[in-house]
């Protein structure tokens, strides 16, 4: 069985599933390589605009690094040149990625979720970076992404204690975009993905590209990026199609160019 699968779940929407439920979807070398390939496949496909990432089984989104692999001296196999840990956390991505978290997102699994643009989680799921409990640190982006996503004091507490944050509380802090009933994370994430995919893909892309730099640049630089993004959007056929569809009282037919 493939440890990572990619399927078309809706028009312009891909569903990516980590399939190691017997190991709580922990990352080994096979998963890292397969997830790296999945990202490349989706990012290079002009007909795919949004991706939902989840883990099979309902118990765990992902338990992080497979400690059996680490103890066997195969830690380096959990990284790829482009994606780094899990073939994902540092991978250049232009499409919208949504984590669908069912169960626990633990350690590197939490870091994978944080590396996505949005998170949809079931109300029974949890998030944790427990690395300090084992003398480790969340070096796959967790330390700074958690601090950006949560109020400072809450992020500091999670990083220093390693304790779990329930999804219900995570939603109150804005870490989770949408909460679903138990078992409904994938459905909820796909609903959000379909909503996003109903919009002009270039406009969505350009908007998120600027937003992703919000912590890196000052207001003047970000304003300049916004103007450049506007020029690219105005040069597309979709820039004409959107207002025309509104005037003609019909759904727009986006071309993504």
For the ranges 1-5, 14-18, 62-66, 104-108, which has the lowest average pLDDT? 1-5
Instruction: Give the residue from 197, 221, 237 where a domain finishes.
Output: 197
Same domain, 160 and 77: yes
Residue 86 shares a structural domain with residue 110: yes
Q: Which residues are catalytic?
A: 111, 131
Whether 112 and 84 map to the same domain: the answer is yes
One domain, residues 56 and 77: yes
Going by pLDDT thresholds of 50, 70 and 90, the confidence category of residue 242 is confident
The tens digit of pLDDT for each residue in 52-62 reads 999 999 999 99
Domain membership of residue 142 as a residue range: 4-197
The residues, any chain, with a CB within 8 Å of residue 90's CB and separated by 6 or more, are 82, 83, 84, 115, 140, 141
What mean pLDDT is predicted for residues 25-41? 97
Asked whether residue 229 falls in the same domain as residue 128, the answer is no
Question: 256 in a domain, yes or no?
Answer: no
Residue 122 and residue 91 share a domain? yes
Same domain, 188 and 208: no
Kindly report the pTM of this predicted structure. 0.93
- Give the list of residues 6+ apart from residue 203 with CB closer than 8 angstroms, or none: 233, 238, 242
CATH classification of the domain holding 117 = 3.90.226.10
In the predicted structure, residue 249 carries a pLDDT above the cut 90: no
Looking at the predicted structure, is the pLDDT value of residue 34 above 90? yes
Q: 62 and 103: one domain? A: yes
Q: Are residues 207 and 192 in the same domain?
A: no
**pLDDT of 238 strictly over 90:** no
107 within 8 A of 113, measured Cβ to Cβ: no
pLDDT of the residue at 256: 82
Domain assignment of residue 33, yes or no: yes
Number of domains, the chain: 2
Q: Which of 157, 174, 197 is the last residue of a domain?
A: 197
The closest alpha carbon to 107, from 87, 130, 75, belongs to 130
Whole-number mean pLDDT of the chain?
Answer: 94
Q: If 0-12 CB within 10 Å is exposed, 13-18 middle and 19+ buried, where does residue 199 land? A: middle
State the pLDDT confidence band at 18, using cuts at 50, 70 and 90: very high
Residues 124 and 234 in one domain: no
Q: Are residues 137 and 207 in the same domain?
A: no
- Segment 118-130 mean pLDDT: 97
pLDDT in tens, 102-123: 999 999 999 999 999 999 999 9
């Amino acid at each position: 069985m493939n440890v990572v699968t990619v399927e078309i779940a809706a028009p312009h929407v891909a569903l990516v599933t980590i399939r190691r439920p017997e190991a709580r979807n922990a990352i080994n070398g096979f998963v890292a390589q397969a997830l790296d390939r999945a990202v490349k496949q989706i990012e290079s496909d002009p007909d795919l605009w949004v991706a939902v990432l989840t883990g099979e089984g309902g118990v765990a989104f992902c338990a992080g690094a497979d400690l059996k692999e680490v103890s066997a001296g195969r830690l380096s196999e959990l990284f790829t040149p482009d994606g780094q840990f899990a073939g994902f956390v540092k991978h250049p991505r232009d499409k919208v990625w949504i984590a669908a978290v069912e169960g626990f997102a633990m350690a590197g699994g939490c870091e994978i979720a944080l590396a996505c643009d949005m998170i949809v989680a079931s109300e029974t799921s949890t998030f944790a970076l427990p690395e300090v409990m084992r003398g480790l640190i969340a070096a796959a982006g967790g330390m700074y992404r958690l601090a950006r996503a949560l109020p400072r004091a809450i992020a500091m507490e999670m990083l220093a204690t390693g304790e779990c944050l329930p999804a219900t509380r995570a939603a109150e802090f804005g870490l989770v975009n949408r909460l679903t009933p138990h078992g409904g994370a994938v459905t909820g994430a796909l609903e959000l993905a379909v909503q996003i995919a109903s919009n002009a893909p270039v406009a969505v892309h350009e908007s998120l590209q600027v937003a992703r730099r919000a912590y890196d640049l000052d207001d003047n630089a970000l304003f300049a990026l916004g103007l450049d993004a506007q020029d690219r959007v105005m040069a597309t056929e979709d820039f004409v199609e959107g207002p025309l569809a509104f005037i003609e009282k019909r759904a727009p037919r986006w071309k993504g160019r």
